[in-house]
Amino acid sequence: MIQADIKEKLQQIVGPENYDDSKAGRLVYSYDASPQFQSMPDAVVAPRNKEEVQKIVKICNKHRIPIVPRGSGSNLCAGTCPIEGGIVLLFKHMNKILEIDEENLTVTVQPGVITLDMIKAVEEKGLFYPPDPSSMKISTIGGNINENSGGLRGLKYGVTRDYVLALEAVLANGEIIRTGGKLAKDVAGYDLTRLLVGSEGTLAILTEATLKLVPMPETKKTMLALYQDIEACAQTVSNIIASRIIPATLEFLDQPTLQAVEAFAHIGLPTNVKAVLLIEQDGPEEVVERDIEKMAEICRAEKAVDVQVAKSPEHAEALMTARRTALSALARLKPTTILEDATVPRSEIAKMVVAINGIAEKYGLNIGTFGHAGDGNLHPTCLADIRDKDEMERVEKAFAEIFQKAIELGGTITGEHGVGVAKAPYLEWKLGHTGIEVMKAIKNALDPNHILNPGKVFAKETNRVVMMK
C-alpha cells in the first residue's frame, strides 16, 4: 500500500490519469510473459518524461518503495513481475524516436518505443538494426536493453549490447547519468553503458538510448534443411561455422515444434522430419548465393534428407515469421508453456540436444526444442499444466538438470532471456559464489536501499538440489 500522502505526491508528478491503483489496473501488471509468477503492485505509474522519472525515483528511494520498470512485459524470466510490490513504472508515454542520424548511423529513442516500430523507421532510411528478439512486434527497446535481448540474427550480428552506444539513466538517488556517445570508440572511464545493458532494471532506470545502426544488407536468401537424424542436424551447425561461413540466421526446430508451428501458421513447413535448420544469409548478392550453395552442400554431406531454398522474399519472410511464432504456437497446446534458454558453445549443440531429450524422457515430460543453434542458444520448451503439481515438480527438476548440463558443457543458464526471478536460484551455478559477491557489491554500491526491481537477479536462496548430487 502506498501511503496517502505519497500517492498524492506521485499523482501531482504524473497527473492523476497516469497513476492507477485500482484493483483491475494493478492486476494487469501483476504478471508478465513468464508463467508461474504473479504478484500485485501497489500502483502503476506512467511518467511522461525523465524529470518525472527523477522525481518518482527520489520519492521511492526516500520511502523505500520498490520500482519495477516495465516496457511491454514480454520478458520470459519474470523480470517485470512486482514480487515485492511497490510501483510498476510504465513507459507507455516515453515512446518517441527522437532522432535517426544518417551521418553517424545512429538512432536515439526513448525506452518505450516498440522494437519493430524502430526497426521499420530505420529501414525506411536504408539502415538496419539487427537485434530481433522474437517478441519484437510488442517488446520495447528499453526492455530489450534491460534484458540484453538476443534474437535470430545474433550469430552474425550480435545482441542488443553490441548496438547500445549511449544511455541516459536515472540512478536510485534520482541523479541522472549519461554514458557513451555517438562514438565508435570511447574509453573514458568504466564501461557503464554495458554495465547497465542487461542489468534488468536493478541498477538504474533508463530514460534514453542511442543505438548503432549498420547499412541495410543488399539482399538475403533463406533455406530449410530437413533431417531425420537430430545429431546430424546439430553437427551441421558446427560444420557450417567451421567452414568459415557465418550466416545471418541458423535456427533449429525439432519435430514437435515444427508440428506446432505448422498447425499455427500454415505455411507448408515439413512436419514428417525429426528436425529442420532454418538458414538465412544476407549481404551482397554474389556472397549470399555462394554461401547458400556452400551451406546446402554441407547440409547434404551431413545427411540432410532435403534442402529447400525459399522461392521468394515473401516465402522467406513467412518462414522467419513462422519461426518467431514458435512460442505462441507451442503455447496453444497445453495450459502452461515453460520456455528456457540454456546456452552452450556451438560445438556442444549436438550433445545438448541429446541431453535435453534424455532428461525429458527421464522425467516423463513433453519437451520440444527450438532455438538459435548458430549461437548455441537453445530453447527447450516444456508443455505442461500448472495445476498438475507432480508434473510441475518434475519440470523444475528437469530444467535444473538442463541448466547443469549446459554449464558442464561450458554454457550458461540463460543466453538471452535474463535471470529475473525465474533463473535467480541458478545464477550461482554459473558465476560461482565470488561472481555473485561481485555483483552484490555493485548492486549495493549503486542502489543501497534496494528499491530498483528488488527480488530480481539475486536469489534469496541458491538451488542446491542438483549441483550437490
Options 377, 404, 453, 463; binder of its own copies; rule CB under 8 A: 377
Binding-site string for its own copies from residue 57 to residue 96, where x marks contact by CB under 8 A and - marks none: ----------------------------------------
Options 99, 191, 293, 317; binder of its own copies; rule CB under 8 A: 191
Options 15, 268, 284, 358; binder of its own copies; rule CB under 8 A: 284
Beta carbon of residue 421, minimum distance to its own copies (angstroms, whole number): 14
186 binds its own copies (CB under 8 A): yes
Options 228, 271, 347, 357; binder of its own copies; rule CB under 8 A: 347
Beta carbon of residue 298, minimum distance to its own copies (angstroms, whole number): 14
* Binding segment toward its own copies, per CB under 8 A, in 25-33, 103-111, 307-315, 393-401: 103-111
Q: If we measure between CA atoms, which residue out of 292, 300, 180, 281 comes closest to residue 233?
A: 300
Among residue numbers 408 through 447, which ones bind its own copies (CB under 8 A)?
410-419, 423, 427, 430-432, 434-439, 441-442, 444-446
Options 94, 275, 319, 457; binder of its own copies; rule CB under 8 A: 457
CA 389 to chain centre: 28
Options 28, 40, 116, 171; binder of its own copies; rule CB under 8 A: 171
C-beta of 11 vs 462, nearer to its own copies: 462
Options 108, 140, 179, 259; binder of its own copies; rule CB under 8 A: 179
Instruction: Indicate if the alpha-carbon torsion angle 283, 284, 289, 291 is positive or negative.
Output: negative
Q: HEC states along the chain?
A: CCCHHHHHHHHHHHCHHHEECCHHHHHHCCCCCCCCCCCCCCEEECCCCHHHHHHHHHHHHHHCCCEEEECCCCCCCCCCCCCCCCEEEECCCCCCEEEEECCCCEEEECCCCEHHHHHHHHHCCCEECCCCCCCCCCCEHHHHHHHCCCCCCHHHHCCHHHHEEEEEEECCCCCEEEEECCCCCCCCCCCHHHHHCCCCCCCCEEEEEEEECEECCCEEEEEEEEECCHHHHHHHHHHHHHCCCCCCEEEEEEHHHHHHHHHHHCCCCCCCCCEEEEEEEEECHHHHHHHHHHHHHHHHHCCCCEEEECCCHHHHHHHHHHHHCHHHHHHCCCCEEEECCCECCHHHHHHHHHHHHHHHHHCCCEEEEEEEHHHCEEEEEEEECCCCHHHHHHHHHHHHHHHHHHHHCCCECCCCCCCCCCCHHHHHHHHHHHHHHHHHHHHHHHCCCCCECCCCCCCCCCCCCCCCC
Within 8 A by CB and 6+ apart from 305, the residues are 226, 227, 228, 273
183 binds its own copies (CB under 8 A): yes
Options 198, 270, 368, 380; binder of its own copies; rule CB under 8 A: 198
Among residue numbers 5 through 64, which ones bind its own copies (CB under 8 A)?
none
Options 1, 24, 188, 468; binder of its own copies; rule CB under 8 A: 188
* Binding segment toward its own copies, per CB under 8 A, in 107-115, 242-250, 271-279, 308-316: 242-250
343 binds its own copies (CB under 8 A): yes
C-beta of 284 vs 358, nearer to its own copies: 284
Beta carbon of residue 163, minimum distance to its own copies (angstroms, whole number): 11
133 binds its own copies (CB under 8 A): no
208 binds its own copies (CB under 8 A): no
Beta carbon of residue 257, minimum distance to its own copies (angstroms, whole number): 19
* Binding segment toward its own copies, per CB under 8 A, in 43-51, 114-122, 258-266, 404-412: 404-412
C-beta of 252 vs 264, nearer to its own copies: 252
Q: If we measure between CA atoms, which residue out of 18, 36, 26 comes closest to residue 425?
A: 36
Measured distance CA(156)–CA(374) in Å, rounded:
9
Beta carbon of residue 446, minimum distance to its own copies (angstroms, whole number): 6
Options 245, 265, 339, 356; binder of its own copies; rule CB under 8 A: 245
C-beta of 1 vs 188, nearer to its own copies: 188
# of chain residues touching its own copies (CB under 8 A): 90
Options 28, 100, 116, 176; binder of its own copies; rule CB under 8 A: 176
Beta carbon of residue 101, minimum distance to its own copies (angstroms, whole number): 7
